[in-house]
Structure 1
């Protein structure tokens, strides 16, 4: 009696397991919309997989290459998902064509069943047979001769757009030529030399500053601002250095290519340093430093003025000395 109960229990579990396994089984199929085409025509291959909506994992469709035996894949659709009778149905459509006449098999295709990311089973479709026929030719009729090449009469309206474009280009070219030819030429204005040389302007400004006696009146910052502004303006006009827009260190770097100005580099550095301290650090230089700063400014301008002017001044000085000598001799 106990053995019968055990056997019945085992049979019951087996039936339940078979039922569960049947429910979890994946059904796959492959079908075509026709089984006969002509060379170059297309046939639709419809692949589908039916699996329970719950607990069946997933299925991987076969990946057909773009070209396989006697067949070429023209296009592939995405996967369509639908539900039927509590099952999930996946479907994909491939469009195939063939350029070989004959009866050709579409081989059985393999679907892999996945569970928890691993392949647990495989399912295969049936193979399909499709006839690929040629274009029927009626051999009872005689072949027609090849027709001769026919000449088409020339028509202006077949080429009117090209003529219009060509004429437009010619007219535009003529118009541009006439415009540029008749346009008045701009006169190039030559820069006029300043009436007073820059070094004379600088020396005159320094003399005027000396007469104003700013530092003696306690306006030390204005005194040094005037000295550096006079020198910077002189450098811009005489040597084309953008001195008014540069810091002291930048100015000292930009005078290096100007040899005659670079010879006064140490004197200019000393002057700019004492001026920056007086203007920005509120340092009050001594009277001797005030006098030396103005003297250095005069020396820099005198040293860097054009050599022609130096030669003229030297000749004037020599003439003056010769006149004094003659006067003393008389």
Structure 2
């Protein structure tokens, strides 16, 4: 009789433990992992967060995904990957993963704090879950103190090569010939169409706004008061100009993403070296606490002016009108 009671007790405990494991496996949960716990200054670390939704909800939920700020707790966000949706399982109706690339320019042992996620159920109740805190060691680059320190070298640009752009010149020449033929055909062989008064142009074009703000920086020279604020303003002027002139979402992109996305814009990609030099010095001044020299401040400003001048829109309509005016008097 005693053995039967012991056997019954163990059967009840096994059933209870199995039910508990099944319930716990179906809870809303988040889990964070890092591909490494040791980096050097400026090296990347990939943070992957996995979110699991219990199968009992079956899509009847709202998931509030956390968004890391661009800068937090000694870390900078370099890249945000798209949210991946995995195939559902018997226990989970939704499994999501997202990878964020981080870096740090401060040496020491830093914590990636817990990240909060919220799940809104059909009855409007909210479940919250947090990721585990992660510790990342950021180490400096080893320096051989037995050797003498060498001065920092200045930024060197790549020499301009005509052969790299020869096809652009060829295509440009063909385009000029075609435009000239069209003008000759419609304006010299046929009667000139009545002049249509164009609507008034905006008060300031993107080019005019950018040049006005750059000349203000040149006059005020704000780097004497705050170097970091100066480079932030300088790069914002360029990013706003790219958005307005070329429809590039420059304000939402990192420096590396911006340099990648200007490649399809030929006239802007021709100034890639100048833009890369400006962004490199600006990132070092803002994030790595580098103190560029006064010559670097003025040089970056002049490069920004040169980029805007090179990429400004050409007044095609006005040029065509100037060519057509002498023809009218000759007739």
TM-score between the two structures when normalised by the length of structure 1:
0.38
Structure showing greater radius of gyration is: 1
TM-score between the two structures when normalised by the length of structure 2:
0.38
